[in-house]
Amino acid sequence: MAHLWSGRFAGDPDADLFAFGSSFRFDRRLFEDDVRGSLAWAAGLARAGVLAPADAAAIEAGLREILDKGLSDPSFVTDTHGDEDIHAFVERELVARIGDAGRRLHTGRSRNEQVAVDLRLYLKRRVPAIQREIAAATGGLVQLAERAGDALMPSYTHLRRAQPVLVAHFLLSHVAALRRDVDRLSAVLAEADELPLGSGAIAGTSYAIDVRGLATALGFGRIARNSMDVSGDRDFVASFLHAASLGMVHLSRIAEDFILFTSEEFGYFDLADSAATGSSLMPQKKNPDPLELVRGKSGRVIGHLAGWLVTMKGLPAGYNKDLQEDKEALFDAEDTWVGCLRAASSVVSGLRPNPAVTARAASGLLLATDVADYLVAKGLPFRDAHEVVGALVRRLLSEGRTFDDLSLEEWEQHSPLFGEDVRSAITPLASIEKKQTPQSTAPKAVAAALAETKKWLKAQGL
C-alpha cells in the first residue's frame, strides 16, 4: 500500500516496524479535530490563492462529508485500510471521494504541525467537559455537606484529634481542592490556545497563509511564536498531565478520608451497599473497593506525567517521533481522571453521615485550645495559658476523665481565673461558634461558604 511518504523508498517498510510506528489505533480519537484543522487549512490555502476555487470547494465538501460520517458513525473511523495515523486516514478518504483535488490539501503543511493542531483542538473541546465532571463531583460533596447539617466531627492534624469542626466544613475542604483543579485546567487551556499551522515541518511555510485568520477560524487566541519551537513543543501536554496528576492526588485524598471514616474504627459515615464489595472468605466484610481503586489509580496518572517529562527531556530541537508518545499518556490520564471522578461521585452520593458518632468523637480533650483561649480572655498570656491547660490535660489523662467531669473547685485548682462560666464555654458547639474568620468552621462562615459554592456550581452550569 502507498503511504504518505512512499515516493522516497524503493520498497515497502517492514510490516512489523510499520505497525510498531503506527498511531492510528489511538490517534483516531483526534478524528474530528483533524478534519476541522484540514477544513481551515484548505480555506487558508484558497484565500492565499494556492488552491483553485473549484479544488477548494471540492475539498471542503469532501471533508464535511467525512466529518459528518465519522461523527454520526464512529465505526467509520476504523482501521480497515492499514492507515498509519488519523492524518493518513482522512487524506485517503478525501482522495477516495474527490480524486486529485484531495491530493492538493497537504500543500505547505506537515503532519508535525497537523498533529500539534489536532491535540490542541482536542484539549480545547475536552477540557471544558472534564471541568464539568469535576464540578459534578464537587456538587456531590456539597449535597453531602447539606445532608450533614450542623453535625460536628473532630478535625485531625497528624491524624490525632485536633479541634471540633462542622462535618460540612470538612467536606468543603475537599471542595476547595477540586475547585483549584478546575482553575488549573483553565490555565492549561490558555497554554494550549496557540495555533501551530504555518510552521511547516519546522522552518515555516512558503505560501502566504494568513495564519492570524486561521487562528481566528479555529478559535485559537494566538499564533505560534516560533516554527521550530512549536513543532516540538508539548509543554501543554505536560501541563495537562500535571493538572490530571494533582486532580488525582486530590481524589486519592478524598478516597483515603472516606476509606478511614467509613471503617469500623471511625464509623463517621456509612458506605452504601452499592458502593462496596464483599469478601470471598470473610462473610462480615464490606470493603470500599471503588475508593481504593480511585486512590490506586492516582499512581498511574502520576506515572504518565513522570514518563512524559522523561520522554521530552532529551529531545533535540524540532519534531521527533518520540512525541507521538504524548497521546496515549494524555488519553489514558483523561480517561482515568474522568472515570475516578465519576466513581468518587457515585460513592459520595451514597454516603450517610453518623452525627451521633461524629459528635461523640468531637468532644473531650480536643477542647483544650478553647480552655486556653478562655484563660487568655481572662487576661492570662497565651503561653502561660498553654502551660496551665497542658498540666490539666496531663491530670485528666492520668485520671481517665475529660473537661466535662471537672467540678468548679477542680478547675480552680489549676487557675483562679476559672469561673462558673467555664462549663458553658467549653463545649464543641461553643468552640466552633467562637471562630471568627471567614475561612473558619464557624457555622455562619460555613453557611456562607456553602452558599458561595452553590453559586459557583450554578456558574459551572450545574
* Residue 23 vs 298, nearer CB to ligand ARG: 23
* Residue 153 vs 237, nearer CB to ligand ARG: 237
* Residue 110 vs 358, nearer CB to ligand ARG: 110
Angle made by CA atoms 410, 412, 416, in degrees to the nearest 5:
170
Phi/psi of residue 271, nearest 5 degrees: -85, 135
Q: Is 324 in the site for ligand ARG (CB under 6 A)?
A: yes
Q: Give me the active site residues, please.
A: 158, 279
> 3-class SS at 352?
strand
Other Cβ atoms less than 10 A from the Cβ of 388: the count is 17
Q: Is 349 in the site for ligand ARG (CB under 6 A)?
A: no
In this structure, are residues 188 and 240 in contact, taking their beta carbons and an 8 Å threshold?
A: yes
In this structure, are residues 56 and 43 in contact, taking their beta carbons and an 8 Å threshold?
A: yes
Measured from the CB of residue 142, what is the shortest distance to ligand ARG in angstroms?
A: 40
Measured from the CB of residue 220, what is the shortest distance to ligand ARG in angstroms?
A: 19
DSSP code of residue 353: E
The Cα–Cα gap between 442 and 433 comes to 5
Q: Is 321 in the site for ligand ARG (CB under 6 A)?
A: yes
Angle made by CA atoms 119, 122, 124, in degrees to the nearest 5:
115
The Cα–Cα gap between 42 and 106 comes to 8
DSSP code of residue 207: S
Site mask for ligand ARG (CB under 6 A), range 63-102, x = bound: ----------------------x-----------------
Considering only the stretches 51-59, 292-300, 321-329, 396-404, report the one whose residues sit in contact with ligand ARG under the rule CB under 6 A: 321-329
* Residue 118 vs 133, nearer CB to ligand ARG: 118
Candidates 38, 112, 205, 345; binder of ligand ARG (CB under 6 A) is 112
Q: Is 23 in the site for ligand ARG (CB under 6 A)?
A: yes
- Alpha-carbon 309 to chain mean position: 18
- Residue nearest ligand ARG (C-beta atom): 324
Q: Is 115 in the site for ligand ARG (CB under 6 A)?
A: yes
Report 263-292 residues binding ligand ARG (CB under 6 A): none
Task: Give 152's strand partners.
Answer: 166
Measured from the CB of residue 84, what is the shortest distance to ligand ARG in angstroms?
A: 7
Q: Is 236 in the site for ligand ARG (CB under 6 A)?
A: no
Task: Give 269's strand partners.
Answer: 353
The Cα–Cα gap between 368 and 389 comes to 7
Residues contributing to the site for ligand ARG (CB under 6 A): 23, 27, 85, 111-112, 115, 319, 321, 323-324, 327
